Amino acid sequence: MSVYLNKGTVIMSNPPSIRSFAAAAGRMEGEGPLGSCFDYVSQDSTFGENTWEKSESRLQQHALEHALAKGGISESEISLLFAGDLLNQCTGSAYSVRDIGVPFVGLYGACSTMAESLSMASIFSDNGIGKYNVALTSSHFCSAERQFRFPETYGGQRPPSAQWTATASGCVVVEQHSAPPYVKSVTIGTIKDMGIKDANNMGAAMAPAAYATIKTHLENTGLNVDDFDLILTGDLGEVGTRILCDLFKKDGVDLESVHNDCGLMLFDREKQDVHAGGSGCGCSASVLCGHILGRIKSGELKNVLFTATGALMSPTLVQQGESIPGIAHAVHISAE
Return residues touching another protein (CB under 8 A). 26-28, 45-46, 50-52, 141-142, 145-146, 150-161, 167, 194-196, 198, 201, 204, 207-208, 211-212, 215, 238-239, 242-243, 246-247, 276
In the complex, least distance from residue 204 CB atom to another protein, rounded to whole angstroms:
4
Q: Are 63 and 39 in contact (CB under 8 A)?
A: yes
Which residues does residue 260 pair with via DSSP β-bridges, in sequence order? Answer: 232
What's CA 298's distance to the chain center, in Å?
A: 21
For residue 192, the tally of other CB atoms under 10 A from its CB is 18
Label each residue of 117-169 as H, E or C: HHHHHHHHHHCCCCCEEEEEEEECHHHHHHHHCCCCCCCCCCCCCCCEECCEE
CA-wise closest residue to 285 among 58, 14, 67: 67
> Residue 6 or residue 76: which is nearer to another protein going by CB?
6
In the complex, least distance from residue 266 CB atom to another protein, rounded to whole angstroms:
13
In the complex, least distance from residue 50 CB atom to another protein, rounded to whole angstroms:
7
> Residue 146 or residue 302: which is nearer to another protein going by CB?
146
> Residue 76 or residue 157: which is nearer to another protein going by CB?
157
For residue 213, the tally of other CB atoms under 10 A from its CB is 31
Backbone angles phi, psi at 334, to 5 degrees: -135, 155
CA-wise closest residue to 275 among 262, 290, 259, 263: 263
In the complex, least distance from residue 6 CB atom to another protein, rounded to whole angstroms:
18
CA-wise closest residue to 327 among 83, 113, 140: 113
> Residue 78 or residue 111: which is nearer to another protein going by CB?
111
Q: How far apart, in whole angstroms, are the C-alpha atoms of residue 35 and residue 152?
A: 24
> Residue 196 or residue 287: which is nearer to another protein going by CB?
196
Helices (H), the chain: 27-30, 52-71, 91-96, 113-126, 141-148, 202-221, 237-250, 262-266, 281-287, 293-297, 315-319
Burial class from Cβ neighbours inside 10 Å (0-12, 13-18, 19+) for residue 314 reads middle
In the complex, least distance from residue 53 CB atom to another protein, rounded to whole angstroms:
8
> Residue 179 or residue 191: which is nearer to another protein going by CB?
191
> Residue 70 or residue 146: which is nearer to another protein going by CB?
146
In the complex, least distance from residue 241 CB atom to another protein, rounded to whole angstroms:
9
Q: Are 163 and 235 in contact (CB under 8 A)?
A: yes
Element (H, E) at 325: none
> Residue 142 or residue 285: which is nearer to another protein going by CB?
142
In the complex, least distance from residue 67 CB atom to another protein, rounded to whole angstroms:
24
> Residue 94 or residue 318: which is nearer to another protein going by CB?
318
Burial class from Cβ neighbours inside 10 Å (0-12, 13-18, 19+) for residue 1 reads exposed
